[in-house]
Structure 1
Amino acid sequence: MTLQIDIFLQPGEVYFGDRETRIRTLLGSCIAVTWWHPTRQVGGMCHYLLPQRSQSQQLNMSNLDGRYAEEAFLLAMHYIQTTGTLPADYQVKMFGGGHVLIADVGKTLAVGERNIEFGKKWLAGHGFRVSREHVAGHGHRHIVFDVATGDVWVRFSPQHEGVPSSKP
């Protein structure tokens, strides 16, 4: 099999593909969730920045914004429903939610932690079970998801607590 599609997922994007697809992204406090259907060899990934919008508004398919977990998950659910598969059929993995900003250090519930908490609750409440995760900590993650096999590779670049990830 030859890989034909190599996608780099930007923050706020959701992408699903078949076994000829590889999806990559780079995470800090953001979260990436992968869904993989082992029988059909289809799957996808989302990359969200925040749990929800600050203002509540009526959500529908025409105004969903993948920068927010709830809406990224609804976009993923739409794809899953169009394939005629069930949430329980998917292997789900979660990555990211790290502390990467000095402002996050010492806060009671930093952005990354809120992203992790919201994502786990929403997924569980909609019939998904997270089978693997690499979340929290201090640093960045590079994620590569191979839809043919369901394998996800994580390269974690740790940083010391309270130390910025780059020098001025």
Structure 2
Amino acid sequence: MIHETSDTTRKHFLFPGTLHVDAGECVITTVLGSCVAVCLWDTIKGGGGMNHFMLPLWNGEGLATPKYGTIAMEKLLEQVLAVGCKKERLVAKVFGGANILGMSQAACPIGRRNVELALGTLDDWRIKVVASDLEGMVGRKIIMNTLTGVVLMGRGKHKE
């Protein structure tokens, strides 16, 4: 069964360094390069959310914002649980971490480090990753429906 969104379905564009959570139906869209987006969804109740972080670790200086993976992951789980989702029913879908500048991963490992942070945190939390599309050389557009948990993904074109 395909669930189509109506004209009244809430929509949210997720900017880098932010997150969005909804207990009901909301279509969240974001665009990723080396950033990573983690989608959490409650498999029984529905509801969930997505983060979009740019750097893996907050160094303790300045504001602790979801620009950093360590903060974005904690806040996403906290807010998903606050809207009534249960940790034991959550699944994750993880996207991004591209090396879109074409530099060697040794010289510029931001994407890979973001991916490692996301996957490591989910593993620590014992939240199963049921889908992912990670690293590579192209950006991605992600669209998540928080009610159904369906995530659509498109890839950018690789520049020669």
1:84 CA displacement: 4.8
Aligned to 2:128: 129
Aligned to 2:20: 15
Aligned to 1:118: 117
Q: Which amino acid aligns with 2:60?
A: S
Contact 2:46 2:146 in 1 (8 A): yes
Instruction: Find the residue that maps to 2:127 and give its secondary structure.
Output: coil
> Which of 41, 55, 59 pairs up with 1:50?
55
Aligned to 2:86: 86
Residue correspondence of structure 1 range 1-168 to structure 2 within 5 A: 2=6, 3-53=8-58, 55-56=59-60, 64-102=64-102, 105-108=103-106, 110-160=109-159, 163=160
Contact 1:21 1:148 in 2 (8 A): yes
Contact 1:64 1:75 in 2 (8 A): no
Q: Which amino acid aligns with 1:150?
A: G
1:88 CA displacement: 2.7
1:116 CA displacement: 0.5
**Could you tell me how far apart the structure 2 residues matched to 1:11 and 1:144 are?**
14
- Per-residue CA deviations over 1:54-113 (Å, capped at 9, x if unaligned) read x236xxxxx5411011101111121133245432311200000001124xx223261101
Q: Which amino acid aligns with 2:79?
A: Y
Contact 1:95 1:134 in 2 (8 A): yes
Q: Which amino acid aligns with 1:43?
A: G
Contact 2:23 2:83 in 1 (8 A): no
When the two structures are superposed, what TM-score results if normalisation uses the length of structure 1?
Answer: 0.83
Contact 1:88 1:129 in 2 (8 A): no
1:145 CA displacement: 0.4
Q: Percent of counterpart pairs with the same letter?
A: 26
Instruction: Find the residue that maps to 1:158 and give its secondary structure.
Output: coil
Root mean square deviation, CA, Å: 2.0
Instruction: Find the residue that maps to 1:35 and give its secondary structure.
Output: strand
When the two structures are superposed, what TM-score results if normalisation uses the length of structure 2?
Answer: 0.87
Q: Which amino acid aligns with 1:30?
A: C
Aligned to 1:60: none
- Per-residue CA deviations over 1:31-57 (Å, capped at 9, x if unaligned) read 00001112211010000001112x236
Unaligned runs of 5+ in 1: 58-62, 164-168
Q: Which amino acid aligns with 2:147?
A: A
